[in-house]
Every structure is written in C-alpha cells, then in structure tokens.
C-alpha cells in the first residue's frame, strides 16, 4: 500500500469514528450540564469544598470561581514541585528550580502543558500523578465550564445568571472526563502503553550499551492529556515515545481522543440552545478548516523535492517510521488546531510550509475544533464577529441566536480576539531584540525566528507544542512563557463570561425575513472566510518573516 493511500485511509477511519460518537456524546454532555440532580460522589465533593451547587451565579461570581480555583491550582502545583526532593516516589530527583516550577505550574493549570524539562529525568511519581495528571482533568473541566456558561448566555433571557461554576467543574470531571479516560486507558494498556510505578532501571540498546528508563502511570496520563487537550508527555519524546504511543492504532486512537470532545461540544451547543442545526453549522466550520489543514499538510509533506525525499516517499525527517507521513500529518494538524500540544513527530523538521501550517493552526485561536471548551467559545466569538460583518454589509443590526449584537457585545468580542495576537507579537519582538533570549536559538535566519514565534504562539494560545530547536529552559523563557500562558488563558475568559452575562440579560428578538440564517451553508462560508482573513491580516507579516520565507526559499 502506498504511503499516500495509507494516510487517506487513516483519515477516513478517524472521521468515521468521530461521526459515530458525535450525537451520543454531544447529547450526553447536554444532559450533564442541564440536569438539576447531583450524584452522591458529587455531593461529597461539594461538602468538602464548601460549595452550594444550586446557587446560580452572575458572570462576575462565575469568573471569581474560575480565577480562585486556578490560583489555588498554580500555588499547589508550584509547592509540590519545590518539595519534590523530600516527597516519597521522587525516584531520587531533586526539587524543581523556582523559574521552571512556575513555568510548569502555570502551564498545566492553563491547560497548556508546555514542558521545558525532560519528563523522565525531572518529575517523580507523586508530582506526575498527584500534580500534573490532576491538573490535566480539572483544567479541561474549567474550559468546558466556561464554554457552557457562554452557551447558557445564548439560551437564557432576561437574567444574568449563568449557572454554578463549582457544579459545572465537578460534573465535567466526574461525569464526562473520568469515565471516558478510564475506558480509554484500558484500551491503551491493552495496546502496549505502560502503566506502573516502577523505579529507574537499565535497558539494553540495539547498538550496544545500556540506557536508564523509569516507568510510571503513563497510560492514565496519556489518555487525559489527549482527551483534555492538554498535551504534556510523561517522557520527553511525548507521543513519539513507544511507551506512550507504541503502534499506528494507538496513534490514530490518540488523535480520536484529541478531537472527540471539541467536535462533540458543537452538538451540546445545538441541543442547549434548542437548534441542532446551529450546532451543525459550527461543526461544519470547524470540520472544513480541520480537513483543509490536514489536506495541505499531507500535500506539503508528501511532496518530493530532491533525491532524499524521493527515496523516503516524502519528508520523513523527524517522523516516526511506524506512523509515517500520513499519521504524523493528521496528528500535527489536530494537535495544533486544538490546544493539545502533544506531538508524535518533530515539528521543527517539517518542511517550511508544513511548519507554517502548524503555526497558523494555533494562530487561528485553536478553534477548529479547538481545545476542550475553549474551541467552542472561541468559535462562538468568531461567529459573533461574522454576524456583525454581515450586518454592516446589509445595514442591519446584527443578531445571533435571537440576541442582538450591540456595541457592548462587539467590544467584548473584539477584545477577546486581540489578546493572544498582542501577547504573541509583543513577546516575540522582545525575545528577538534582546541578546539573552536570542542566544537560545540553535538556528539563525528565518527558521530561528520561526522557533521563537512558534514558542510564544504555542504559549499564548495554550497549546504547548514546540519547534524543539529552541532552548527554552532559561529564566527568560520560563518566566515570559509562563506569563503568556496565564494571560492567554484567563484574560480571554474574562471577556467570554462578560459577554455571556450580557447575552443572558437580553430579551430574545424574533426572527424576521431580514434575519441572517446562521444555520445555513452561506453562514458557514462567511465564518470560515472571516476566521482566515482576520488571522491572515493579524499574523501575515510575522509569518512572512519566518515559515513563508523558509518555505519559498
């Protein structure tokens, strides 16, 4: 079988699996976040944290819950790393340095999972399981909770109440993430992913000599890092490591986990607002961009440019032979169009245009389908922008799902889309202008610029993947990337929740003959065009200096 055909078949199998799961999972999540009943285990949790799950919150109270919980998460994870040297199960590893501990704490709480350390050489079992793995669950649940709050803003009227953050957080963890992760972890273990608490031991190498490896609860963390679009690997090689991703089947299964909840949340959105067609319109937008990016990535990576490429049937540098170009291309696009950041190949070794595609996927705001929760609310923000543009063209006050998009709403949406580009471009400019961070580049010219641009794009958009040609384990990068992660995660949430409160307080506007039909293919095309144009106008100069210059050269 040719490599191209193998890649296409993998793509078709993945799309079929996602289609089968779409309706049942989407409907289930809608019931989870619409139910007024609490499970017994949830009642125990509410009692333990002192929360009343039946108290409705307006957007400032909901935001305070998000921020308070996240601040506690950063402090706890930071302390756990700083105390690692005296904790049991540390495997003899010392405590993490302050700047790296801050970077890692910010990274995992912000659902980014950027790692400036070698996982198997730095983190013991307690930090990996009680710290990093726990944050993989709860940071994902926070993202879903904020998305559901925005959906309630569209679904409710004449009230500023958006639900209860603590109830949404607990339900997302207990009813959605934990059950799926438990089943998927068993699948990974059955396919060869390790799950143990063994210490460090020596293993032989094919070329002679030995190498030290440690075990760990890898399967359970691998599942939630993909399912929760987190991305942090137990080992430095991430999902390219055979202990994390041993076969082509597990590779495709992990891509399925990455895309499962973000795509299915569009069904949840449609059910909760009372129109599944609206959910299908958002799904079509996400799917069009995702499929287009996968096709472009396969084309540029399979293209033959010279004898080496012809012998390898494509650009195989930096890719695992067991996955091939097809599997690696699908994984790379899926992980950068979501906020996952897991990698099964070396993005820095992709062709110039291929590296640019991964970067552009993050620059879109990771909305196709995006991170768990963050992809949906990011896409709904873009839908509001698209409706506003359409309203300007016909001279009519824009409406979306029966809610008028007035001055307040469009200002909040505009502020949302300006946050991450500001962080990316400002931090990249400083890093290129100052001598100390520039010394961390292992490449000069366009590729070196791409390394730094990619790093801040990844951090600010809460992705976590890297070009890997950049030495990011320095005080400058640990600190600035950590700040970019926190600001890129929580500042947009302020605007999302404020927008949700504004929409929930409105009285629905009945549809008329002049109302833009947002469930039609025309709107899907308008939304895709708005996303690409806005991103292109924002980032084109930076892309022209990096991946475009390298690819065209």
Reduced to 3 states, what is the DSSP secondary structure of residue 5? helix
Cross-strand partners of 204: 210
What confidence category does residue 383 fall into, taking pLDDT thresholds of 50, 70 and 90?
very high
**Which tens digit of pLDDT belongs to each residue from 404-431?**
999 999 999 999 999 999 999 999 999 8
Q: Please tell me the distance from the alpha carbon of residue 486 to that of residue 461, in angstroms, as a whole number.
A: 10
Long-range contacts of 83-90 (CB under 8 A, 24+ apart): 84/123, 84/124, 84/126, 84/127, 87/124, 87/126, 87/127, 88/126, 89/124, 89/125, 89/126, 89/197, 90/124, 90/125, 90/126, 90/127
For the four alpha carbons of 473, 476, 482 and 485, in that order, the dihedral sign comes to negative
Q: Are 459 and 472 in contact (CB under 8 A)?
A: no
* pLDDT greater than 70 at residue 114: yes
The pTM score is 0.94
What confidence category does residue 544 fall into, taking pLDDT thresholds of 50, 70 and 90?
confident
- Which of the given ranges, 90-94, 183-187, 229-233, 304-308, has the highest pLDDT on average? 183-187
**Which tens digit of pLDDT belongs to each residue from 248-272?**
999 999 999 999 999 999 999 999 9
Residue the block writes with tokens 């009343």: 52
Q: Please tell me the distance from the alpha carbon of residue 448 to that of residue 49, in angstroms, as a whole number.
A: 47
What are the b/e assignments for 67-86, b being 16+ CB within 10 Å? Answer: eebbeebbebbbebbbebee
Q: What is the DSSP string of 144-176?
A: HHHHHHHHHHHH--S--B---HHHHHHHIIIII
Average pLDDT score over residue span 431-460: 83
CA 423 and chain centroid, separation:
17
* pLDDT greater than 90 at residue 55: yes
Average pLDDT over the chain, rounded to an integer: 90
Reduced to 3 states, what is the DSSP secondary structure of residue 387? helix
> In terms of pLDDT, which residue wins out, 39 or 514?
39
Burial of 204 (0-12, 13-18, 19+ CB in 10 A): exposed
Residue 258 corresponds to which tokens in the numbers above? 């990455």
Q: Are 397 and 409 in contact (CB under 8 A)?
A: no
* pLDDT greater than 80 at residue 386: yes
* pLDDT greater than 70 at residue 526: yes
What confidence category does residue 312 fall into, taking pLDDT thresholds of 50, 70 and 90?
low
Give the least confident one: 138-152, 176-190, 290-304, 347-361: 347-361
- Among residues 373, 20, 334, 335, which one has the least CA distance to residue 172? 373
**According to the model, what pLDDT value does residue 144 have?**
97
Residue 209 corresponds to which tokens in the numbers above? 């000599």
* pLDDT greater than 90 at residue 336: yes
* pLDDT greater than 80 at residue 438: no
HSE-CB of 195 using CA atoms within 13 angstroms: 16
Residue the block writes with tokens 């998927």: 184
Q: Over pLDDT 90: what percentage of the chain?
A: 63
Residue 307 corresponds to which tokens in the numbers above? 């004898």
> In terms of pLDDT, which residue wins out, 516 or 200?
516
> In terms of pLDDT, which residue wins out, 234 or 529?
529
Cross-strand partners of 319: 345
Give the least confident one: 115-119, 326-330, 533-537: 115-119
Q: Please tell me the distance from the alpha carbon of residue 448 to that of residue 396, in angstroms, as a whole number.
A: 47
What confidence category does residue 31 fall into, taking pLDDT thresholds of 50, 70 and 90?
very high
**According to the model, what pLDDT value does residue 281 have?**
96
- Among residues 410, 297, 433, which one has the least CA distance to residue 355? 297
Q: Are 22 and 264 in contact (CB under 8 A)?
A: yes
């Amino acid at each position: 079988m040719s490599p191209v055909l193998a890649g296409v078949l993998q793509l078709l199998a993945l799309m079929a699996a996602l289609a089968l799961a779409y309706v049942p999972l989407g409907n289930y999540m809608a019931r989870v976040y619409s139910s007024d009943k609490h499970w017994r285990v949830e009642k125990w949790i509410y009692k333990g944290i002192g929360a009343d799950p039946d108290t409705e919150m307006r957007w400032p109270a909901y935001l305070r819950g998000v921020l308070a919980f996240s601040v506690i998460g950063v402090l706890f994870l930071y302390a756990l790393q700083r105390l690692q040297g005296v904790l049991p199960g540390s495997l003899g590893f010392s405590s993490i340095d302050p700047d790296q501990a801050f970077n890692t704490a910010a990274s995992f709480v912000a659902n980014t999972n950027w790692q400036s350390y070698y996982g198997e050489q730095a983190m013991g079992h307690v930090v990996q399981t009680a710290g990093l793995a726990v944050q993989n669950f709860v940071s994902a649940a926070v993202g879903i909770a904020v998305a559901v709050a925005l959906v309630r803003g569209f679904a409710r009227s004449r009230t500023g109440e958006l639900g209860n953050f603590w109830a949404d957080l607990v339900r997302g963890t207990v009813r959605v993430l934990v059950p799926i992760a438990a089943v998927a972890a068993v699948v990974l273990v059955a396919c060869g992913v390790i799950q143990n608490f063994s210490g460090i031991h020596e293993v032989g190498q094919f070329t002679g000599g030995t190498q030290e490896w440690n075990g760990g609860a890898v399967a359970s963390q691998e599942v939630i890092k993909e399912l929760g679009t987190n991305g942090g690997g137990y080992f430095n090689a991430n999902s390219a490591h055979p202990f994390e991703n041993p076969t082509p089947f597990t590779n495709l299964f992990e891509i399925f986990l990455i895309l499962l909840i973000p795509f299915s949340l569009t069904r949840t959105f449609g059910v909760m607002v009372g129109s599944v067609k609206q959910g299908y319109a958002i799904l079509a937008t996400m799917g069009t961009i995702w499929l287009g990016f996968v096709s472009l990535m396969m084309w540029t990576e399979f293209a033959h440019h010279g004898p080496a490429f012809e012998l390898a049937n494509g650009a195989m540098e930096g890719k695992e032979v067991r996955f091939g170009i097809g599997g690696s291309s699908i994984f790379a696009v899926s992980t950068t169009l979501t906020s996952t950041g897991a990698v099964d190949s070396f993005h820095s070794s992709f062709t110039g245009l291929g590296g640019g595609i991964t970067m552009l996927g993050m620059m879109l705001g990771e909305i196709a389908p995006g991170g768990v929760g963050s992809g949906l609310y990011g896409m709904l923000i873009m839908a509001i922008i698209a409706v506003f543009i359409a309203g300007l063209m016909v001279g009519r006050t824009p409406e979306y799902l029966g809610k008028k998009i007035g001055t307040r709403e469009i200002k909040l949406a505009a502020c949302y889309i300006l946050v991450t580009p500001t962080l990316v471009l400002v931090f990249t400019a400083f890093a290129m202008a100052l001598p100390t961070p520039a010394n961390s580049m292992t490449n000069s010219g366009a590729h070196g610029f791409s390394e730094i641009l990619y790093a801040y794009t990844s951090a600010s958009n809460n992705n976590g993947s890297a070009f890997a040609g950049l030495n990011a384990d320095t005080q400058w990068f640990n600190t600035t990337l950590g700040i970019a992660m926190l600001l890129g995660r929580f500042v947009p949430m302020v605007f999302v929740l404020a927008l949700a409160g504004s929409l929930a307080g409105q009285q629905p506007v009945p549809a008329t003959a002049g109302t833009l039909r947002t469930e039609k293919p025309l709107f899907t095309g308008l939304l895709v065009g708005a996303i690409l144009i806005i991103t292109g106008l924002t980032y084109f100069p930076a892309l022209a200096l990096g991946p475009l210059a390298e690819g065209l050269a």
